[in-house]
Amino acid sequence: MVSVNPFAEFRRECENVLAAALKTTIPEAKIETFPMSKPNNPNFGQLASSVSFELAKNLKKKPADLAAQLAKAADKTRFVMVEKVEPAGGYVNFYVNFAKFSAFTLESIGQLGQEFGFIKTDKPTKIIVEHTSVNPLHPIHIGQARNPMLGDALARILSRRGNEVSRHYYIDDVGRQSSVVAYGYAKLSKPVPDEKADLFVGKIYTVTACLVEIKKLNRQMELAKKVEPTEEVAKITKDLDEWMTIAEELEGKYPKLFKALLEKIGEDKNPEEEINRLNRCYEDGEPNARALIREVSELCLEGFRKTQRKVNISYDSWDWESDFVWNGQVSKVLGQLEASGFVHNENGVLEFDAEKVIAKMDLRKKLGLREEQEVPPLTLVRADGTTLYTTRDVAYTLWKFERAQKVVNVIGMEQSLAQLQLKVALYALGLSKQAENLVHFGYSLVTLPGYKMSSRRGHYITFDEVLDEAVKRAYEEVSKRSPMLTEDEKRNIANFVGIGAVRYALVDVDPGKPVVFTWDRVLNFETNSAPYVQYTHARACSILRKANKNPENVNYACLKENLEHELIIAVASFPDAFIECADYLKPNMIADYANALADKFNTFYNALPVIKAETVEITRARLALTDAIRTVLSNALNLIGVIAPDKM
């Protein structure tokens, strides 16, 4: 007998035994489900049911008496994997027959291999996971890198659950920022990059934005001195001083580029007006504007693709925000929203009244809002006729729902309001099913102790820099730990260890909490890191290589030690962990699981010999257990995009 979820089979047997005992002792009791949980102490069994507490409320009896009654009535003829049933403190405790359960679990893992644990859903769904979607203005930096790591892990997990998953990247190429970088790029006569393209574009953007801002503030200062009060002059002076400091810093970093842009931008009396004109032209689809902004955006995306290839991330679709403007879908959505009765024109500005929708449709509870919590209106169209990001996002979301039943947007928590307004807009359009299947997977930022990132100052550590540094540090560690390896082996190992370390570090923290990125934590070979789990997997592989044979005719009853039993329960529980992480979108659970399993295996390895066990029978059984742990660690790491190596 083989099962993709051995522990679920044990749980099902416990439920059946309990149901039969209840029918025998208290036939009038109507219990549809039997709550089961794992006791913290294995001395109380491998599963415990609290059903006696629920029964006690209705029967006016003590839970302990009911538990004793049920345990005594347990029909032993039904036992296959259950060894015994005992009452304890009102709970009904079930003890597994480890000889049978070990054989069942380890043989299942051995036969299923890379498929073990990946339970398919009864209702496979078409799902779009939109992730990364960094604006094409500068390189992906470490503060943004958590997005693709989480997004790719979610896509892998949902796909393994049996869903049809499509990975999408939304290219935000409409808006002032894209026009700023395109303006600077054009002023330099569209130069050919002499370095990685996104790094090149990022420098142009930062310097251009700074110089344009200084020109704007100087104009405001001239006007303010004539007509504005002293306080306004003081405010502009403060802003101008800050930008002049930034300019001085940028000139020191990029002297040739700064000089060239200073000269070219200086030729325009009002660069801000030129940028606004370019922005309007691009949204209107004017050919020259289209060609210019698409060209500089593609340059940046070329750099993004190179970075993503390093971490083995790809996309099924690259969706241009501008396409939804040019093909009329944004205009169509605007018309539908205006017709809904929830949009009003205020001095030429179109405003969507989200709060009115929530009140009229009684959505507060459904959206998880407090009674006193008000949702501000959403500006759909500015006075100059240009649309806002969330307006365009409504059109994009409708397009995604034409292709999928569920949409998961991996977007930072700072966008929570915009994502909420987007959902409310779907309700206003009568698309309640789509609204309910729109998921904002929010996450907190990545911080670096002692370093403050600022895009406008050009203060950021690129994702490429972090990956390169991780590989470099991993190489040093591998060389120290395994000097006997060839240079090629060291380089290869350093690459997957370094990349894996970064991926794991950005996934294993609960998404709601910030990631504090420190090298001591990221590349820790001793605990809770990708290198630690990878090293554990490699250790298991090494044991199996030294044994030089696959265990045959295994007597699983030889696995009698508590450490062995803990490991068997741990690998048997991997499918349950997978289901929970997939259905509740918790990729960090898989990292936690892998780390905990690695901890247990290393404790086992240090305490009990495998190849040199007391008898050949015990060696065979422990080799089978080691092989199962190797498989499960590999399957878990694969879900979060981390390579499970044979050697380290």
Kindly report, residue by residue over 65-120, the tens digit of the pLDDT.
999 999 999 999 889 999 999 999 999 999 999 999 999 999 999 999 999 999 99
> Can you tell me the distance from the alpha carbon of 593 to that of 578, in angstroms, rounded to the nearest whole number?
9
Residues 54, 66: contact at Cβ < 8 Å? Answer: no
pLDDT digits (tens, 9 = 90+) for 541-598: 999 999 987 788 899 999 999 999 999 999 999 999 999 999 999 999 999 999 999 9
Whether 403 and 493 share a structural domain: no
Asked whether 337 and 380 are in contact (CB, 8 A), the reply is yes
**446, 143 Cβ separation under 8 angstroms:** yes
Decide if 357 is inside a domain.
Answer: yes
The answer to whether the predicted template modeling score (pTM) of the entire model surpasses 0.75 is yes
For residue 456, being part of any structural domain is answered with no
- The SS3 assignment for 448 reads strand
Residues whose CB falls within 8 Å of the CB of residue 146, separated by 6 or more in sequence, listed in order:
443, 445, 446, 506, 515
Q: Are residues 532 and 582 in the same domain?
A: yes
Q: Are residues 499 and 624 in the same domain?
A: yes
Residue 644 resides in a domain: no
Domain boundary, last residue among 400, 421, 447: 447
CATH code assigned at 485 = 1.10.730.10
Confidence band for 410, pLDDT divided at 50, 70 and 90:
very high
CA angle (132 as vertex; 643, 579 as ends), nearest 5: 55
- 442 and 483 in a single domain? The answer is no
Task: Please report whether residue 112 resides in a domain.
Answer: no
Are 365 and 281 in the same domain? no
Domain that holds residue 276: 176-313
Residue-averaged pLDDT of the chain: 94
**CATH number of 44's domain:** 3.30.1360.70
12-32 average pLDDT score: 91
Decide if 201 is inside a domain.
yes
Residues 469 and 615 in one domain: yes
Number of domains within the chain = 4
Question: What confidence category does residue 296 fall into, taking pLDDT thresholds of 50, 70 and 90?
Answer: very high
Q: Is residue 592 domain-shared with residue 473, that is, in the same domain?
A: yes
pLDDT at residue 228 in the model: 62
Contact 384, 276 (CB under 8 A): yes
The answer on 130 and 183 residing in a single domain is no
Residue 407: closest CA among 447, 443, 441: 441
Checking if the pLDDT of 456 tops 70, the result is: no
Residue 31, pLDDT score: 84
C-beta of residue 447 within 8 angstroms of C-beta of residue 515: yes
Do residues 499 and 358 share a domain?
Answer: no
Instruction: Decide if 194 contacts 299 (C-beta within 8 A).
Output: no
